[in-house]
């Protein structure tokens, strides 16, 4: 029986294989400023965002970024202005902020830490 490379099921099934990150967007979104957005992969690790996929506004004066994953999106988050789910994110200054997860509105709410 001839050996055919890649035919063994073990080649495809491995418990160590990381699950693919579920995408938040099925199609490329438009930015709320009206410009198109480009899908890019984060290479820098400024905020622990290395290898995360994101959409970036092509308008250089806007430069809005929205991540294409579900990190920080939770059931208990507040709803945004378009009645959609929000993403909670820790900013560099230590403030926790909720924003429209799909970047479709200007919703912004800071979590007050008493």
CB of 111 to Zn ion, least distance (A): 17
Query: For residues 23-62, which are near Zn ion according to CB under 5 A?
Result: 31, 33, 35, 57, 59, 62
Determine, following the binding rule CB under 5 A, whether residue 97 of this chain makes contact with Zn ion.
no
Q: What's the burial of 49, exposed, middle or buried (CB within 10 Å: 0-12/13-18/19+)? A: middle
Q: How far apart are CA 37 and CA 63, in angstroms?
A: 9
- Say if residues 23 and 69 touch (Cβ distance below 8 Å): yes
The SS3 call for residue 36 is strand
Give the residues across from 77 on adjacent strands: none
Among 82, 90, 95, 111, binds Zn ion (CB under 5 A): 82
- Name the segment binding Zn ion (CB under 5 A); options: 8-16, 20-28, 39-47, 75-83: 75-83
**Site for Zn ion, rule CB under 5 A:** 31, 33, 35, 57, 59, 62, 64, 80, 82, 84, 100, 104-105
């Amino acid at each position: 029986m001839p050996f055919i490379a890649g035919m063994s099921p073990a080649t495809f099934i491995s418990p160590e294989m990381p699950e693919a990150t579920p995408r938040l967007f099925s199609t490329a979104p438009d930015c709320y400023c009206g410009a198109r957005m480009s899908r890019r992969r984060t290479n820098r690790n400024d905020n622990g965002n290395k290898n995360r996929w994101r959409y970036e506004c092509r308008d250089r004066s806007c430069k809005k970024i929205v991540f294409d994953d579900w990190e920080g999106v939770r059931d208990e988050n507040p709803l945004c202005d378009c009645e959609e789910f929000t993403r909670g994110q820790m900013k560099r200054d230590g403030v926790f902020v909720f924003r429209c997860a799909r970047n479709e509105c200007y919703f912004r709410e800071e979590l007050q830490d008493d």
